[in-house]
Amino acid sequence: MSLPKINPTKTAAWQALSRQFEVQKDLALQDLFLQEPSRMEQFSAQTEGFYLDYSKNLITAETKEILVRLAQEVRLKDAIDAQFSGAIINETEQRAVGHTALRNFGALPEEVAVALERIKSFTGQVISGQWKGYSGKPITHVVNVGIGGSDLGPDMVCEALGYYQNHLKLRFVSNVDGDHVMHQLKDLPRDQTLFVIVSKTFTTQETLTNAQTIRQWFLEEAPESGIAQHFAAVSTNLEAVAAFGIDSDQVFPMWDWVGGRFSLWSAVGLSIALSVGYDHFESLLKGAQDMDQHFAKTPFEDNLPVLMALISVWYNNFYHAESECVVPYSQYLNKFVAYLQQGIMESNGKYVDRNGEEVDYQTGTIVWGSTGTNAQHAFFQLIHQGTKLIPTDFIAFKECLYGQQDHQNKLLANCIAQTQALMSGTKGQAIERPYRVFAGNKPTNTLLIDKLTPERLGGLIALYEHKLFVQGVIWNIFSYDQWGVELGKKLAVNVLNTIESSDDSSKLKFDKAQEFDASTAELLRRIKQ
């Protein structure tokens, strides 16, 4: 069962949306609320712990009905069923897309269940102090070494769940920037630090360079036999891991049917389980599973990921809004937007459709943002009074974690007030000076979540995973490959060989055989001077 291959612009719904846009493009949100007393009931949806208010969007009941028809015409339900059934929907790499299977506790694949038990056992030993370093002392620090999905997901979740963190101190090394690596290492106790190397192939240039540098640093004081006590790996390349010196008992599996940017639910999340304990890690997975069930079983009209995806398509393809902003009102979610950037832009930044043809419509959205209230004092000016339409997602939690309700009330007040200000502007007010006028009519979604728990964080991440999948289905693109990142990697090998060669830099010039253009050749010449 493969994904449908339907050009959305050829559907009746797409044509109807084009007509609908012409009819309503000058609508004012304030007027819609005046005209529709039941607008909130019409344009809100919920599932356990999540309430979505999408009433402050430039849509009418008719717009919503046509958007849902679009989802039906591109056979979204068939696509959802294909993904959850384990079909080979990543067709360009001939792989299934199985990250939802990692958290399907009703029917866990045996290999996943075994991996989870191993994670539970290992992390339990480290956290309890049973696991000792080469000096006989327990582990106090953990360093995750990876890049892309092997870094962004675990890093984001560990920070987001900081309230639940145990005594272990987590650090993350991803960039091949040696200055950063050494900065992260300089005050670590070698005999009490565990390093988790995350690389499916154990050949990723950045990760392996960092891992070898860390290994050398470790062995400056530690015995080589200590590597087995201080290094773990998440990989499929057992031979390379063994050559590094990591004991096979500390190697955790990765699978081809799990893409990197969706892998935090697997053993890639080992650092998460170390940071907050296995029980909280499992709660994270179960929260994601709850959202999976909502996504798979709820009619499109009330389906949170589907609704958010359809609204995004509406703005991207008909209002030509190229970007969307995400603003979580929790400092714990400081890295959430960076995580979404990889998930959404690497998945849907495609110009070739599932038929192998170039598209003549926009795909992908540029995702950016930061935490509120910091964002209000940084870039909200652009959203309020700029010339670009920037739909914005507001994410807020009803309850705080430390009991500082006064702070939480102010946080929530700012969040809700911003959505009102973006919608209403200064309409109806007598403003003498034009630069003080706020046009309003700026669309927003508000996700109100009961509390930042591991369960709800899992659900939130899964919600955006499913949103990007729906967008990809509608745009008729393959969301689960990422061929666009490969070319730069290949060229970097040639560039690096040139930088490290002993050749006279004065002789370096445009070389067709090495695929160096004149600009690249000159930059290399200057580096080698």
What tens digit of pLDDT does each residue of 348-388 get? 999 999 999 999 999 999 999 999 999 999 999 999 999 99
Q: What integer pLDDT is reported at residue 508 of this predicted model?
A: 57
> Which pLDDT score is estimated for 384?
95
Q: Which of 444, 373, 375, 377 is nearest to 410 (CA)?
A: 373
Nearest partner of 86 among 105, 101, 106, judged by Cα = 101
Fold matches, 8-96+298-475 and 104-282: yes
Report d(CA 64, CA 337) in Å as an integer: 27
Options 3.40.50.300, 1.10.1040.10, 3.40.50.2020, 3.40.50.10490; CATH of 104-282? 3.40.50.10490
**C-beta contacts of 503-512 below 8 A and 24+ residues apart:** 503/528, 505/529
Give the Cβ contact number of residue 243 at 10 Å.
Answer: 10
Q: Between the CA of residue 82 and those of 77, 90, 463, what are the distances in Å?
A: 9, 11, 18
- The H helix count followed by the E strand count for the chain is 21, 11
The helix (run of H) or strand (run of E) holding residue 447 is strand 444-449
pLDDT at residue 12 in the model? 98
Q: In 3D, which of 348, 343, 341 has the Cα closest to residue 462?
A: 343
Q: Which of 406, 384, 111 is nearest to 236 (CA)?
A: 111
Long-range contacts of 110-115 (CB under 8 A, 24+ apart): 111/253, 111/255, 112/266, 115/252, 115/253, 115/266, 115/267
State the residue for tokens 């060229």: 491
Q: Say how far apart CA 7 and CA 317 lie, in whole Å.
A: 13
Task: Output b/e per residue, 158-171; b: 16+ Cβ within 10 A.
Answer: bbbbbebbeebebb
The predicted structure's pLDDT at residue 254:
93
Half-sphere CA count of 85, side-chain side, radius 13 A: 12
3-state secondary structure at position 448? strand
* Domain chopping of the chain, boundaries: 8-96+298-475, 104-282, 483-528
8-96+298-475 to CATH, choices 3.40.50.10490, 2.60.40.790, 3.40.190.290, 2.40.10.340: 3.40.50.10490
3-class secondary-structure state, position 220: coil
Q: Are 246 and 236 in contact (CB under 8 A)?
A: no
Token pair recorded at residue 40: 């909130």
- Give the pLDDT of residue 188: 98
Q: Active-site positions?
A: 346, 377, 489
Note whether 230 and 222 are within 8 A (CB).
Answer: yes
Instruction: Give me the pLDDT at residue 491, please.
Output: 82
Q: What are the structure tokens assigned to 528, written together?
A: 């080698």
The token pair at 503 is: 């050749």
Q: Is 191 exposed, middle or buried (0-12, 13-18, 19+ CB in 10 A)?
A: buried
Model pTM? 0.96
- Ranges of residues in the chain with a pLDDT under 50 are none
- Measured CA distances, 240 to 183, 248, 286, 462 (Å): 27, 11, 33, 33
Look up residue 187 and give its DSSP letter: T
pLDDT for residue 514? 58
pLDDT tens digit string along 208-223? Answer: 999 999 999 999 999 9
Instruction: Provide the token pair at 434.
Output: 């034009």
Q: Radius of gyration of the chain from Cα atoms? A: 25
pLDDT for the residue numbered 500: 87
Helices 278-297 and 110-128, packing angle to 10 deg: 150
SS3 at position 235 = coil
> Which residues neighbour 503 within 8 Å (Cβ) at sequence distance 6 or greater?
528
Query: What pLDDT was estimated at residue 1?
Result: 73
Q: Which one-letter amino acid corresponds to residue 76?
A: L
**Six-digit token pair at 123?**
């992390």
